[in-house]
Amino acid sequence: MIRFSPSPVSRMPETTARGRTAGSATVLVMTLAGLILLVTSGDQVWSRQRVPPPEPSRKAWVSFEAETQMVRALELYRRFAAQPQPPPLPGKTTLRAGDMGQPVADLRARLALTGDLSERGRGDSYSFDQDVEDAVKRFQARNGVEPTGIVYGITQRLLNVPLQTRVRQLELNLQRMRDLLPKIASEPKYILMNAASFELQGIRNGVVEVTSRTIAGKRATPTPVVSAKVQALNTLPYWHVPGTIAKAALIPTIRKDPGYLYKERIRVFSSFGGEEVDPASINWWGPEANRYVFRQDPGPQNALGVLRFDMPNKHIVYMHDTPMKKLFQYHERAVSAGCVRLQNFWSVADWVLDGQDGLSGAALQQRVEAGQQSTVKLNRPVPVHFIYLTAWVDNGVVQFRNDLYNRDASAFDSGEDVAARPSGLTIAP
């Protein structure tokens, strides 16, 4: 039986003030570092520490066991969808511990229907008590959003997703699993990168041996579903700026900040393999600006970071390090131009190398520290699959994720496009 009681979510720090009226206005202010949220309601103000995203699961997303669990989850959600549905929560609603009223009763009914609110916690139907707060955190955690215990914004919209939509989502993702299973059945060692959950698993003989948070493509430049093989590792790589990124982002940035190329150590060339051109000699406002090609020097400022995973494919996407490491502290990490950035890139590199020629992730790190560019070709290329799972079962808990790329034909909009957040360096693959 599928259960709906994930590992207990740590409770948020106590607030210094609490509103009592359901639906009161709330304003969220985020610091540049993304660490503190300041919440205000009327004259009341309190702050809380952001909850970091969880580490990726050590349970393989795709396996014959996972397929069986998905079938059971689908049966369960079909039963949920056949029951009378609570009314949707009104738009721009904010609910939190201490609130009272009909919106809280509707919230309770919705959480009880999907099992997030246990039988034990079904007390005063109009009170947002500790049991409801814990249930909201459980719901948020299994939907991939920060478990604050507060209902507003994306949490409110996710709660309002019709259960029949969830049934369809489970059906689509069950088929995605079944399409992938024959590919990985013959592969003893492979990588899965789920663009919908922003996570990676390195799997050997069905066991997850290495994981990493990832950053995937934004809505406008989605990470494709692709199967390829990691054939080499590049330390201190150059970044050859794709023409699409140069035209859409780099050239407009140069027009605003003529010193940008110098600061980011980006060189201009007449063509691929052509002569270097002095940026000061170019009319960046004229059509001829689009004729040039750009290459960023190696180093920690490089958009690829200090390590690139070479995996040739028709989409020209790959995995790499990144200088924008603070972005891994967000739950939704859809900010790239389609390539995939890894948080634990040294660990993944070590796992990929698997001791080849006495090399390890630590040995590659030493090369980087010594300023040594190198390419290590793998004797045994490692299969890698970029997948798109917006629903699966993890240790008995049904997980859903935002259909960021609208591949599920979702009928709801999750709201914020995280690619619009300020991130310092905005030009990257």
User: Which residues are catalytically annotated?
Assistant: 320, 339
Residue 100, class by beta-carbon neighbours within 10 Å (0-12 exposed, 13-18 middle, 19+ buried)? Answer: middle
**Number of C-beta neighbours around residue 56 at 10 A:** 23
Residue 350, class by beta-carbon neighbours within 10 Å (0-12 exposed, 13-18 middle, 19+ buried)? Answer: buried
178-182 CB contacts, 8 Å cutoff, 24+ apart: 178/67, 180/62, 180/385, 180/387, 181/62, 181/63, 181/64, 181/67
The tokens describing 390, both together, are: 């917006």
Q: Check if the beta carbon of residue 223 is closer than 8 Å to that of residue 347.
A: no
**Cα(423)–Cα(427) distance, integer angstroms:** 10
**Cα(328)–Cα(50) distance, integer angstroms:** 13
Residue 284, class by beta-carbon neighbours within 10 Å (0-12 exposed, 13-18 middle, 19+ buried)? Answer: middle
The tokens describing 9, both together, are: 């979510």
Left (φ > 0), alpha (ψ -120 to 50) or beta: where does 338 sit? left
Nearest residue to 172 (alpha-carbon basis) of 56, 62, 61, 74: 74
What DSSP designation does 419 have?
G
**Cα(418)–Cα(326) distance, integer angstroms:** 14
Q: Would the CA dihedral through 240, 246, 248, 253 be positive or negative?
A: positive
**Cα(263)–Cα(111) distance, integer angstroms:** 51
**CB-side neighbour CA atoms (13 Å) of 263:** 10
Q: Check if the beta carbon of residue 307 is closer than 8 Å to that of residue 233.
A: yes
List, in order, residues 6 or more apart from 420 with CB less than 8 Å away.
none
Nearest residue to 411 (alpha-carbon basis) of 104, 69, 144, 164: 164
Q: Check if the beta carbon of residue 4 is closer than 8 Å to that of residue 138.
A: yes
What's the maximum distance between 2 C-alpha atoms anywhere in the chain? 75
